[in-house]
Amino acid sequence: GAVVSQHPSRVICKSGTSVKIECRSLDFQATTMFWYRQFPKQSLMLMATSNEGSKATYEQGVEKDKFLINHASLTLSTLTVTSAHPEDSSFYICSAWDREYDGYTFGSGTRLTVV
Amino acid sequence: TQLLEQSPQFLSIQEGENLTVYCNSSSVFSSLQWYRQEPGEGPVLLVTVVTGGEVKKLKRLTFQFGDARKDSSLHITAAQPGDTGLYLCAGTDSWGKLQFGAGTQVVVTP
């Protein structure tokens, strides 16, 4: 089936630094990828939709200058958390729609801890 | 505001018991999906229901889509400890984005 590879799986960074998270679609092309954030014991909240070759669209309340999304190719989307603060600590997950699989497939998530 | 309401939020049962999780919305969905998520991992798709009134079975799991395509349920028969996890329903909104319910944490104890 369709696989989305996400890394790193865990990252700890200092306040004020930036962190990049990568998601790659394996064996299929993803013109659109979705980025979610999940706080402990809560559901996934959609942050933004990443479109290959164009600007990402952000959900209400999500700062586009803080969460930079790049989707430069059909198989790679990146999320960069800039000037991270402890409140950005969360579980970040990407997802893509695979036409052949006829469903959304998710990355394994990235646990970000900002200290 | 969550587009999809899930209930209950938490369910703790003994091995061998049955359980049902509900997913409700005021909106009509062209399809609904159910996922299970383990701690520290991404959600894994269990099933997609498309047709109003549809019932799908996956071993001990039975999924139902309401006639009006606004609600769905997941029923697990003879639950096992391996069924423990966070169960999430999700639907594609009118902008083509997958939105999730709040989730139901299921714990099955031996």
Name every chain B residue with its beta carbon within 8 A of the beta carbon of A8.
none
Strand pairing report for A10-13 and A110-114: parallel
Cβ–Cβ gap A46/B99 under 8 Å:
yes
**CA gyration radius, chain A:** 13
Cβ–Cβ gap A43/B102 under 8 Å:
yes
Rounded CA separation B40/A91 (Å): 8
- Count Cβ–Cβ pairs < 8 Å, chain A vs chain B: 48
List the one residue out of A30, A10, A3, A12 whose CA is nearest residue A84: A12
Look at residue B2 and tell me whether its pLDDT is greater than 60. Answer: no
Rounded CA separation B77/B42 (Å): 25
Cβ–Cβ gap B103/A106 under 8 Å:
no
Name every chain A residue with its beta carbon within 8 A of the beta carbon of B102.
42-43
Q: pLDDT of A70-81, one tens digit each?
A: 998 999 999 999
pLDDT mean across residues, chain B = 92
Cβ–Cβ gap B2/A43 under 8 Å:
yes
pLDDT mean across residues, chain A = 92
Please identify among residues 32-61 of chain B the ones whose CB lies closer than 8 Å to any CB of chain A: 33, 40-45, 48
Average pLDDT over residues A18-35: 93
Quick one: pLDDT band at residue B43, thresholds 50, 70, 90?
Answer: very high
Percentage of chain B beyond pLDDT 70 is: 98
How much is the pLDDT for B92? 83
Percentage of chain A beyond pLDDT 90 is: 74
Q: What type of residue is B76?
A: I
> Least CA distance to B33: which residue of chain A?
A103
> Which residue has better confidence, A11 or B97?
A11
Percentage of chain A beyond pLDDT 70 is: 99
List the one residue out of B98, B72, B102 whose CA is nearest residue B87: B102
Look at residue B1 and tell me whether its pLDDT is greater than 70. Answer: no
Burial class (CB in 10 A: 0-12, 13-18, 19+), A92: buried
